[in-house]
Amino acid sequence: MTSDSPQSPPTRSISDLLFLPETERSLINWLLRQHSATFLEIVAHLSQTPEATQRLVDDLIADGFVRAIEKKGELCYQPRLITRVGRQVPSKIWDALED
Amino acid sequence: MSQIISVHSFRGGTGKSNLTANIAVAVASQGKRVAIVDTDIQSPGIHIIFGLDEETFSHSLNDYLWDKCSIEKAAYDVTSELKTGDGSAANLAGTVYLVPSSLKAGEIAKILREGFDVGLLNDGFQELTEKLDLDYLFIDTHPGLNEETLLSIAISDAMVIILRPDRQDFLGTAVTLEVAQKLDVPEILLLVNKTPPVFDRATVMSQVSHRYGVPVGGLFYENEAMLELASSGVFWLHHPDHPFSQEVHAVAKQIIG
């Protein structure tokens, strides 16, 4: 995990998923398979109240695991597990290999 | 509905790419539309089994991850490349596509240096499944655990784990299984490969199954003919009556379910 800035949520990698509690991990894993889902779909998937679901989703957004997007005029949520970070090796080695 | 099958091993040298190619082609022989994506970006090679080389493909998974082409453009229909032992066309009932990873040193170095968007890989799998109207998407992964491996585990409908009857493989497989269970993989199948001929099939299968509490889908013995073929083709097409080939078809049947 790395921090982007004090305002933005942290960048998460897929390995961070393994350290989440079961409910959160399972939800993000389900979202990965769905690619994205509406709030009502998430409520139905979790079988929780809309209020409890909203708290969970808000926490996951704040923690950088989920982002809200607009899809066909509807608010959807999708996982935000984005980058495989490059390897830290002296640049002269990379430069030689990429020639 | 299409199924994503990820194929893993905790350690290298288990014969993962060879088994992936054989099983995927066996599934295609049942009239299915199948694609294999080589996500082993650091040490790719499955394209060799399908007769592709650097000269015969212009786009690879690397190009898709660098936004240089669509994933569909990096998918090659290799069905007509599949040959039997006498060199004649295999004439499969289904179709096999392959998305190779680049085998150019500079391109491997570039992707390791710069990293890539793992989310793009997930989108690519979905796009490929839809555009090619796939029944099965096989993901050949890098041994051990890394970002691509974790993603392929997380999104798979079934996961095949390949191990040898070896203590190091046994311990590593336990790690992979723990991760798979955390990521809610619906179905897990263990395949024991490169079994020495002196080992009794029923005993090994029972020991492995008992140890992990997961079904063993197949057991493959070490064989000379496989070494002789040297990744120059899909083994079961060259040796259709070999016990290895019969086991490949038995595994394919389990996957098709």
Beta carbons of A84 and B182 less than 8 Å apart: no
Beta carbons of B154 and A18 less than 8 Å apart: no
How many Å lie between the alpha carbon of B105 and the closest alpha carbon of chain A?
Answer: 7
Residue ranges per domain, chain B? 3-256
Closest to A86 (Cβ–Cβ): which among B112, B123, B150?
B112
What's the pLDDT band for A24 if we cut at 50, 70, 90? Answer: very high
CA distance B221 to B100: 28
Q: What topology is assigned to A14-98 in CATH?
A: Arc Repressor Mutant, subunit A (1.10.10)
Task: Tell me whether A92 touches chain B (CB under 8 Å).
Answer: no
Phi, psi of B138, deg, nearest 5: -95, 135
Question: Strand A37-38 to strand A74-79: parallel, antiparallel, or no bridges (unpaired)?
Answer: antiparallel
Name every residue whose Cβ is closer than 8 Å to that of residue B47 and which is 6 or more positions away in sequence.
Answer: B38, B53, B57, B98, B100, B101, B103
Segment B87-98 shows an average pLDDT of 96
**B112 pLDDT higher than 90:** no
Name the CA dihedral angle for B124, B130, B136, B140, rounded to a multiple of 10 degrees: -10
Q: Which residue, B233, B234, B236, is CA-closest to B249?
A: B236
Residue B37 to residues B4, B75, B95, Cα–Cα distance (Å): 11, 8, 14
Tokens of B220: 């493959």
> Dihedral sign, CA of B214, B147, B194, B19?
positive
> Dihedral sign, CA of A28, A31, A32, A35?
negative
Asked if the ipTM is above 0.85, the reply is no
Name every residue whose Cβ is closer than 8 Å to that of residue B83 and which is 6 or more positions away in sequence.
Answer: B51, B89, B90, B233, B237
CA distance A77 to A87: 30
Closest to B119 (Cβ–Cβ): which among A15, A81, A94?
A81
Q: State chain B's mean pLDDT as an integer.
A: 94
CA distance A70 to A37: 11
Segment A69-92 shows an average pLDDT of 80
Question: DSSP string of B23-42?
Answer: HHHHHHTTT-EEEEEE--TT
The residue with greater pLDDT, A14 or B95, is B95
Domain B3-256 matching CATH 3.30.360.10: the answer reads no
**A3 pLDDT higher than 60:** no
Q: Is the pTM above the cut of 0.95?
A: no
CA distance B53 to B103: 9
**A4 pLDDT higher than 60:** no
Measured between beta carbons, the chain A residues lying within 8 angstroms of B110 are 94, 98
Task: Tell me whether B130 touches chain A (CB under 8 Å).
Answer: no
Neighbours of A87 (CB within 10 A): 13
Judge residue A30's burial from the number of C-beta atoms within 10 Å of its C-beta, 0-12 exposed, 13-18 middle, 19 or more buried.
Answer: middle
**A5 pLDDT higher than 60:** no
Q: Could you read off the pLDDT of B124-182 as tens digits, one per residue? A: 999 999 999 999 999 999 999 888 889 899 999 999 999 999 999 999 999 999 999 99
- Percent pLDDT > 70 in chain B is 100
What's the pLDDT band for A11 if we cut at 50, 70, 90? Answer: confident
